[in-house]
Amino acid sequence: MSEQTIGILGGGQLGSLLCLSAKKLNLKTVIYCNDIDAPAQNYANQFICGDYKDKIKIQEFISKVDVVTYEFENIPFETLDLINQFKQVKPKPTVNKIVQHRLYEKDFVNKCNISTTRYVSIKERSDLNANVKLIPGILKTCRLGYDGKGQFKLNNISDLENLNIDFSQEYILEKMINLKKEFSIILTRFGHSIHSVYDPIENEHEDQILKFSKIPADIDEKILTKAKDWASIIADDLDYIGTICIEYFIDKNDNLYVNEIAPRVHNSGHLTINAFNISQFENHIRAICGLEKQELIKIFNAKMINIIGEEIVSYRLKQYSDNEYFFDYGKKEIKAKRKMGHLTVVEK
Ligand code: ADP
Ligand code: MG
């Protein structure tokens, strides 16, 4: 088992933290990323820089690894499918095909009899005029959006006049929810009904970017139980292997909705590194390498703050106490609205 080398597609902070967990388990890692400056190369045993559609580089990657996973969902399905013919990709590529497209993802969730916001597919401008009942709403690109990128808030249909929307792409229009709370459930699935479920994590967004996460979530127990059940149904239905995150909304009337599924480790789960005996990253590595599920134990309550853009400068200079864990992603360039690091504070 300790012979396995893990291939990871994507080289950001999630990749870095996956590599650190693999190292803890005495497993080797190869990062594949299209960014020559990918931070995860500093934590991996090997790094291959290449386009996600470069078949020659991908073959080189395949030859060096035993099992493959990914740290973000926008790897082309064809690439995952190709790799999977030689080395197992976990979670399996069909999971990605569903989840990397907001419309397929929401259709899938509803097929499981689980609630989402009301939504409709938007292919052209006239589809918006035909669906004003979903406005106020948010128009989102079906593919490649993250941290609020590719999203347009529409309070009125007339807001469209000021927006330059490229209708060569597919969109989804979602009814705006009157949000009371947001939270996430992180679960690692090892096999049918063999799940490790972390305590629900309450999340606060600023500018559609995650800013604060905490456990315990200050949310009604009944809602949390329902959300955990839904997460288990989703993971089993997808026949998922590894760590998955389900993002939820609660509206002002206490209705629960699935917002989106992340088929990977998740930013809201960074606090699991310091708050649990086994982090979401270690559990992901364990599951994809076929190791047995271990009992999950929460050691501390915790809070996490995402450090965005220029904020990183002052965090780099701070002194930290022994209940504070600062992690600098080591990104070469500081950009506005970009996640640069995080700080976890545990309650000792
Ligand atoms: P991303 O892929 O960028 O994370 P999300 O769909 O999760 O996209 O949207 C980011 C954030 O925007 C959400 O966490 C939430 O705060 C807000 N948001 C998205 N959709 C809605 C909605 N239908 N109603 C209210 N707020 C929303
Ligand atoms: Mg989201």
In ligand 1, the atom with minimum distance to the C-alpha of 210 is 14
247 alpha carbon – ligand 2 mean position (Å): 7
256 alpha carbon – ligand 1 mean position (Å): 14
Protein residue with least CA distance to atom 21, ligand 1:
176
53, 138: one domain: no
CATH number for the domain spanning 186: value is: 3.30.470.20
Encode pLDDT of 283-337 as tens digits: 999 999 999 999 999 999 999 999 999 999 999 999 999 999 999 999 999 999 9
136, 206: one domain: no
The verdict on residue 101 lying in a domain is no
202, 307: one domain: yes
CATH number for the domain spanning 143: value is: 3.30.1490.20
CA proximity to 120, closest of 129, 112, 111:
129
Protein residue with least CA distance to atom 15, ligand 1:
208
193, 292: one domain: yes
- DSSP assignment of 77-145: HHHHHHHHTTSEESS-HHHHHHHTSHHHHHHHHHHTT-----EEEE-SHHHHHTTGGG-SEEEEESSS-
| The domain boundary residue, chosen from 175, 195, 221 | 175
For every one of its 348 residues, what pLDDT tens digit does the chain have, with 9 covering 90 and above?
457 999 999 999 999 999 999 999 999 999 999 999 999 999 999 999 999 999 999 999 999 999 999 999 889 999 999 999 999 999 999 999 999 999 999 999 999 999 999 999 999 989 998 999 999 999 999 998 777 778 899 999 888 888 888 889 999 999 999 999 999 999 999 999 899 999 999 999 998 899 999 999 999 999 999 999 999 999 999 999 999 999 999 999 999 999 999 999 999 999 999 999 999 999 999 999 999 999 999 999 999 999 999 999 999 999 999 999 999 999 999 999 999 999 999 998
Residues in the chain: 348
61, 168: one domain: no
pLDDT for the residue numbered 1? 47
pLDDT for the residue numbered 2? 52
pLDDT for the residue numbered 131? 93
224 alpha carbon – ligand 2 mean position (Å): 18
196, 321: one domain: yes
Q: In 50-79, which positions are buried (b, 16+ CB within 10 angstroms) versus exposed (e)?
A: bebebeebbeebbeebebbbbbbbbbeeeb
157, 280: one domain: no
| The domain boundary residue, chosen from 156, 175, 194 | 175
In ligand 1, the atom with minimum distance to the C-alpha of 140 is 6
343 alpha carbon – ligand 2 mean position (Å): 20
CATH number for the domain spanning 44: value is: 3.40.50.20
| The domain boundary residue, chosen from 151, 175, 199 | 175
138, 207: one domain: no
Q: Select from 103, 147, 149, 151 the residue to mutate for testing ligand 1; criterion: most ligand atoms less than 8 Å from CB.
A: 151
Cα(346)–Cα(271) distance, rounded to whole angstroms? 8
Encode pLDDT of 234-270 as tens digits: 999 999 999 999 999 999 999 999 999 999 999 999 9
pLDDT for the residue numbered 300? 98
168, 183: one domain: no
Query: Which structural domain range is residue 124 located in?
Result: 118-175
Ligand 1 neighbour 176 (Cβ under 6 A): yes
In ligand 1, the atom with minimum distance to the C-alpha of 175 is 23
DSSP strands (E only) in the chain: 5-9, 28-33, 46-49, 67-70, 88-89, 119-122, 137-141, 151-154, 171-175, 179-191, 194-197, 201-206, 209-215, 242-251, 256-262, 302-308, 324-328, 339-346
Total domain count for the chain?
Answer: 3
Beta bridge partners of 189: 195, 242
pLDDT for the residue numbered 211? 98
